[in-house]
Chain A
C-alpha cells in the first residue's frame, strides 16, 4: 500500500469526496500534472482495488469485465476510451491531462483536479523532509546534518524534480576533489568539441571560484590578492562571465 500525506485543503477535499463515494458505483477521475501523487493517493485510499495502466487497453477491458471496481492509471494513454462501459462499476482513474473534455465528461461523474506542488506549499516542506530522510538513508548519511530549508526547491516537475534536487544537494555536499574531477571528466567527454574548447569551458572553474571569492572577501581588491591575479584581470573576468 502506498502512503499518502497531505495538508493541502484542496487535496483534503478530494480525499473527502473519494471517501464518500467508496461504497457507491460511480466513476471518478483525478486529473493533474505528472508526479503530483495521484496514483499514490488513490491506491492509498483504495488498497484492495485492482490497478491497471491505461497503456494496455486490452487489460483494462478484461478487468472491466471481471471486476466491479478498478483503478485505471495513465487514463490519457488509453487509445479507445469511448468504447469503455463504466455502468454499475466503481472506477477511479488518474490522468496527466484532460485530452478530450467531452469524453471525460461523458464517462465520469466525479472529475477532480489534483493541484500541482506549486499550489500546495503546505505539502512541499513535508515532501522535502521525506525525500531528505530517504536520500540520507540511501547515501548512508546522518540526516541530522542537513536541514530541509537549505535545500533548493525545484518543483518544475513536481515531486520528481524535488526528489532529484534533494539527492543532488546531498551528493554535492559529499564531493571531494576526486569526485569533482570525475564529474568534470564525464561532462567534458560529452561536451568537448570545436576549436575554442579551453576558453569555452573555463567558466566551469572560474564562475564558482569568483562568486565564492566575492562572497567571502567582499571586495575585488582583496579577492585579487587572495587569488594572486591582477585586479584588472579579475575585473575582466567578472565582466566576461557577467557576474554581478
Chain B
C-alpha cells in the first residue's frame, strides 16, 4: 500500500501518548494535544533535558523503559529520536491505569451528602490546626453511596498531610463527561482536590490502601492530593 499520500499528523495529534518535537535549542516546534496537557504539570526545559539525556548516540530512535510521573501522568517508557540536526522528538508511553477491582458491597454503603462529610472533616482539622483554608464546593453535588467511615478516614488522613502547609485550597467538583466503569456500569466521578505549598507523605500508603478499597482513584503529588470519587447511586 502506498502510504506517501496519507497525512499522518492527525494520528499523532490525537494520540493519547504525549509527543513533542524540539529544535536543537530546546524550543518546541510541535506538540500534540496530550503533550499540551502534560506541559501544565512539567516545564519544557525539564522535558528537553530528559530528551537530551535519553537521545541515541547516532541518528535514529531509542526506546528506554523508565518510570516517570508528573501529577496524574504516569509513563513507563519513552522514545527519543532524530533523523537530522533540525528536530529532536520525544514520545511518552502512558502506563496502563490499574482498573479498580474492589468489590462493591452496596449494603454497606449509605447514601451520603459528601459536602457534609467534607465539612465535618474540615471542622476536625480545624480543632488541631489553624492553617488558612479555602473551600470551593458544588452545593448541587448529588448524594452518593459510600462507606462513610472509611471515606472520612481517607479525608482525615489527606487533610492531615497538609498540617504544616501555609494555605490549603480544597475543591470538590463534578468531573463533567468523565466516568468510571464499576461492575459494568458507567458511574460519574467527583473530584476532590487538596492543594497547598507542600505536604507530608507519611500517611500516603494508608490513603492509597483505603482509597483502593473504596474504588477511589488517588493521585498523591508533592503539593496536591486528588481523589476521584465514583458517584455510586
Contacts and interface: CB of A to CB of B under 8 A. Distances in A.
A and B co-occur in one complex: yes
Interface in A8-27: 10, 13-14, 16-17, 20-21, 23-27
Contacts of A161: none
B108 A88 contact: yes
A109 B156 contact: yes
B153 A109 contact: yes
Contacts of A16: 123
Interface residues of B, number: 20
B117 interface: yes
Interface string B105-125: 000101010001101110110
A126 B59 CA distance: 83
A20 B149 contact: no
Contacts of A25: 110, 148-149
Interface string A6-46: 00001001101100110111110000000000000000000
B112 A24 contact: yes
Contacts of A10: 127
Contact of B126 (A13, A26, A86): A13
B120 A113 contact: no
User: DSSP class of A's interface residues: helix, strand, loop or mixed?
Assistant: mixed
Contacts of B9: none
Interface in B148-197: 148-150, 152-153, 156
A17 B149 contact: no
B149 A26 contact: yes
Contact of A110 (B112, B120, B126): B120
A112 interface: yes
Given A20-B116, A109-B156, A110-B120, A27 B149 contact: yes
A17 B123 contact: yes
A87 interface: yes
Contacts of A111: 124, 156
A24 B117 contact: yes
Interface in A63-112: 86-88, 109-112
Contact of A24 (B116, B123, B153, B156): B116
Interface of A: 10, 13-14, 16-17, 20-21, 23-27, 86-88, 109-113
12 contacts: A10-B127, A13-B126, A13-B127, A20-B123, A24-B148, A25-B148, A26-B149, A87-B108, A109-B156, A110-B152, A110-B156, A112-B127
